[in-house]
Amino acid sequence: MAKDETFLERQSIDIFRSRNSLGVERREAVSERVDYPPQTYAANDYLAIFDKRNLDRECLANSLISHQIGISIFTFSGIASWQQCNTTLGTLRVAVINIGSNDISDISIRQEITQLVTTLEPVPVVVLSNSQALDHVLQAIDLGVHGFIPSSVDVDVCIEAIGLAIAGGQFVPASSVLAMRGLVGGFVARKAIRSAFTVRQTAVAEALRRGKANKMIARELNLCESTVKVHIRNIMKKLGATNRTEVACKVGELLPDAEHHLGRA
């Protein structure tokens, strides 16, 4: 059983070589594989786990030990307990702080992470959290951490994320990467369509997306119906659409959260 501030498992092996005693196929959570040199450790290298909850930090430590990650593990309730004995422990290679279900927006949690990052620099700090919300990931990265591991991943992925941080990389969950790509993609699409359309055409396109008839569009935008028809023809040409239904579908794909632009063109 893992003990606080006690020497544990000094066998040097590659931290990236994960083992699964049950023979279950590993689920890959890293969005892209980055090849880093295998990690080897000196006898006095160690990993530090920071968590105020005794049982949680011991469970994490014992889980990593059972996978023979090849580096000593020490657990601490906070930075103060580490500072009391760090000079006798050896060389710290990476710190993992488990915030559990705590909200990273909470000022006390942010202060705790910031204190670890600044105190331990240049040692990488990795956050373990029960959340994998994109805003939580971005807030953690903004605080200077070298990884954000959701507790939903299996221990093999956790080991790889820790190894990635030691090697100089930065780990974020694949779900967050996909969400980030979605945000960037949506921004690019909105920018592209707003560059192609005039303000009035954008307003007409949004009205078509909502299934409004020409007469209603004309009344809402204070236009003649004939002018609305001209705008629709120009929109169809720019989108490569053959009818107003196709325009509505294409605008819906490009601008799922399309805004109203009701100013005069």
| Torsion angles phi and psi, residue 115, rounded to 5 | -65, -40
Calpha distance 257→198 (Å, rounded): 18
Domain with 56, as residue range(s), is 45-174
Whether residue 7 lies inside any domain: the answer is no
Whether residue 20 lies inside any domain: the answer is no
Task: Identify whether the C-beta of residue 32 lies closer than 8 Å to the C-beta of residue 79.
Answer: no
Q: Are residues 149 and 229 in the same domain?
A: no
What does pTM read for this prediction? 0.55
Q: Are residues 91 and 209 in the same domain?
A: no
User: Number of structural domains, the chain?
Assistant: 2
248's CB contacts (< 8 A; 6+ apart) are: 208, 209, 211
Q: Are residues 202 and 168 in the same domain?
A: no
Q: Are residues 228 and 142 in the same domain?
A: no
- Which strands, in side-by-side order, build the sheet including 125-129? 72-76, 45-50, 91-100, 125-129, 148-150
Whether residue 39 lies inside any domain: the answer is no
CATH code of 136's domain:
3.40.50.2300
User: Residue 28's pLDDT is what?
Assistant: 34
Instruction: Count CB atoms within 10 A of the CB of residue 186.
Output: 14
Q: Are residues 164 and 248 in the same domain?
A: no
Q: Are residues 95 and 213 in the same domain?
A: no
User: Residue 29's pLDDT is what?
Assistant: 34
Whether residue 259 lies inside any domain: the answer is no
User: Residue 255's pLDDT is what?
Assistant: 57
User: Residue 245's pLDDT is what?
Assistant: 78
151's CB contacts (< 8 A; 6+ apart) are: 100, 128, 129, 130
Q: Could you read off the pLDDT tens digit of each residue along the chain, which spans 265 residues?
A: 454 543 333 333 333 333 333 333 333 333 334 444 456 788 889 999 999 999 999 999 999 999 888 899 999 999 999 999 988 899 999 999 999 999 988 999 999 999 999 999 999 999 999 988 888 888 888 888 998 998 888 888 899 889 889 988 888 776 555 555 544 455 455 555 556 677 788 888 888 888 888 888 888 888 898 898 898 888 888 888 888 778 877 777 665 544 444 333 3
- Tokens found for residue 140: 């953690």
CA 247 to chain centre: 34
Whether residue 29 lies inside any domain: the answer is no
Whether residue 68 lies inside any domain: the answer is yes
* β-strand pairing of 91-100 with 45-50: parallel
Q: Are residues 50 and 169 in the same domain?
A: yes
CATH code of 217's domain:
1.10.10.10
